[in-house]
């Protein structure tokens, strides 16, 4: 079976490795040219790290220089602690702990692992058109060349070309009202083993200090998507002064980190995608953000993408007909992924500041954190089992993922 994966971000290379473990070859078409990396850093959760371990990639986080995190501390704009999530027991409870990982390093380690597993990774290969012949798919690239596939899997992210081309009626990505900017900045501050989150006066700020580097992000509420269709319209170089001003009255070390920063790695309008009616059409399927893009508030998008990769490879291994394999995959994954998209959307609302909202949040956050314990177990405690056989489609929950 000639399997073509559009997108070599997070889901794509993990899927390539998992398929190779299943004895299936694949080709990844990645739009970014050789040497181009994207993004700042992200949180990989225990469920994502366990998904990597299920396909023999348990050392990826370490190889990518991941920073272990032992919890989250929340402070308000006056600097008062308003909530705490203790994550010290995550390894005992979930088999792994949350890590902060630089995105460029994660991409590189995953891509290297895919190439080492025999996956062909083509950089500068941007999917621009799709022709589905029923017994195969012809993929047209932006450079005018074509690639033929028995199965085409769209792992090409929130603005997926595969989704747009093969599922023209699918909902479009919706702007969540938040712009995310971030970077890593050398600074002389003690390590913070926990993630620090600050509900600032005018914007939300998060940081971790590790070995003299502050990994920070700022979430700025903005009603209209400034890029309005042109995603290159946000110029990071003009944003640092603006972010400094927004956080000027927030508690230290927020202003100190921003004073030390010399640039911003990027400014990203945050989108998510409402539940798609389906993730498959014949021999074309979607996974990761292409199927269920989530805002970053729950810190789960990358981990869900990794879970998808493992479960989809198991389905293609065990269900002989590709269309039936994609149906099995969707039945195993859709409910879980869409529930987390919704959870993340809900969490995002508390980041948009208002005086009354802040008063209420400071008093109720500890209660919500306690009440959210069950959600934490649902997120982090989920285990994909690559070795368990997938039954024929449709598959009852409990097969490749549980």
Q: Does 343 bind ligand FAD (CB under 6 A)?
A: no
**Cα(311)–Cα(317) distance, integer angstroms:** 10
Q: For residues 128 and 145, give the distance between their C-alpha atoms in angstroms, rounded to a whole number.
A: 10
Under the criterion CB under 6 A, does residue 109 sit at the interface with ligand FAD?
no
What is the per-residue binding string for ligand FAD in 170-189, x denoting contact by CB under 6 A?
----------x---------
Question: Which positions ≥6 away from 51 have C-beta within 8 Å?
Answer: 14, 303, 306, 307, 309, 310, 384
300 binds ligand FAD (CB under 6 A): yes
When the beta carbons of 153 and 362 are compared against ligand FAD, the nearer one is 153
Q: Check residue 340 for interaction with ligand FAD (CB under 6 A).
A: no
Binding pattern to ligand FAD, positions 34-53, x when CB under 6 A? --------xx----------
Q: What is the DSSP letter of 7?
A: -
Which parts of 117-226 fold into alpha helices (H)?
A: 161-166
When asked if residue 8 is in the footprint of ligand FAD (CB under 6 A), the reply is yes
Is residue 101 within 8 A of residue 65, CB to CB? The reply is yes
301 binds ligand FAD (CB under 6 A): yes
Nearest approach, Cβ of residue 156 and ligand FAD (Å):
4
Q: Which is nearer to ligand FAD, 58 or 392 (CB)?
A: 58
Interface of this chain with ligand FAD, residues 134 to 163, rule: CB under 6 A: 155-157, 161
The three-state secondary structure class of 343 is helix
Indicate the residue among 87 and 299 with the shorter CB distance to ligand FAD.
Answer: 299
9 near ligand FAD, rule: CB under 6 A = yes
Extract the runs of DSSP E, i.e. beta strands, from 200-250: 204-210, 213-221
Supply 183's token pair: 């970077």
Half-sphere exposure of 150 (CA within 13 A, CB side): 12
Q: Is 127 in the site for ligand FAD (CB under 6 A)?
A: yes
The answer to whether the CB of 209 falls within 8 A of the CB of 192 is yes
Cβ closer to ligand FAD: 301 or 322? 301
Token pair listed for 382: 């989920």
Contacts with ligand FAD by CB under 6 A lie at 6-12, 29-32, 42-43, 126-127, 155-157, 161, 180, 268, 270, 288-290, 294, 296, 299-303, 305
């Amino acid at each position: 079976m000639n399997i073509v994966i559009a997108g070599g971000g997070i889901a794509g290379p993990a899927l390539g490795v998992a398929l190779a473990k299943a004895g299936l070859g694949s080709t990844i078409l990645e739009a970014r040219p050789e040497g181009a990396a994207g993004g700042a850093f992200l949180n990989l959760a225990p469920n994502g790290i366990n998904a990597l371990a299920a396909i023999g990639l348990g050392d990826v986080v370490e190889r990518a220089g991941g920073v272990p995190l032992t919890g989250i501390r929340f402070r308000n704009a006056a600097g008062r602690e308003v909530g705490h999530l203790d994550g010290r027991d995550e390894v005992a409870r979930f088999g792994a702990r949350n890590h902060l990982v630089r995105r460029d390093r994660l991409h590189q380690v995953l891509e290297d692992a895919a190439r080492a597993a025999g996956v062909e990774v083509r950089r500068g290969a941007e999917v621009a058109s799709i022709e589905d012949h029923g017994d195969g798919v012809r993929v047209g690239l932006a450079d005018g060349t074509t690639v033929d596939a028995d199965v085409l899997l769209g792992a090409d992210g929130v603005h997926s070309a595969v989704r747009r081309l093969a599922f023209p009626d699918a909902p479009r990505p919706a702007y969540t009202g938040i712009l995310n900017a971030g970077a890593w900045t050398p600074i002389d501050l003690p390590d913070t083993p926990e993630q620090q989150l600050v509900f600032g006066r005018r914007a939300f700020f998060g940081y971790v200090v590790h070995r003299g580097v502050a990994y920070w992000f700022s979430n700025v509420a903005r009603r209209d998507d400034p890029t309005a269709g042109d995603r290159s319209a946000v110029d990071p170089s003009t944003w640092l002064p603006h972010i400094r001003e927004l956080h000027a009255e927030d508690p230290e070390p927020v202003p100190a980190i921003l004073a030390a920063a010399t640039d911003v790695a990027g400014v990203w309008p945050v989108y998510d995608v409402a539940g798609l009616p389906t993730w498959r059409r014949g021999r074309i399927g979607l996974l990761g953000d292409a199927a269920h893009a989530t805002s970053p508030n729950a810190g789960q998008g990358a981990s869900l993408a990794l879970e998808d990769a493992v479960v989809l490879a198991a389905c293609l291994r065990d269900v002989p007909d590709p269309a039936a394999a994609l149906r099995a995959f969707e039945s195993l994954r859709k409910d879980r992924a869409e529930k987390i998209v919704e959870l993340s959307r809900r969490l995002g609302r508390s980041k948009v500041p208002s005086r009354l909202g802040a008063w209420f949040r400071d008093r109720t956050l500890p209660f919500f954190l306690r009440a959210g314990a069950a959600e934490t177990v649902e997120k982090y405690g989920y285990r994909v089992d690559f070795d368990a056989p997938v039954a024929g489609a449709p598959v009852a929950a409990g097969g490749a993922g549980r």
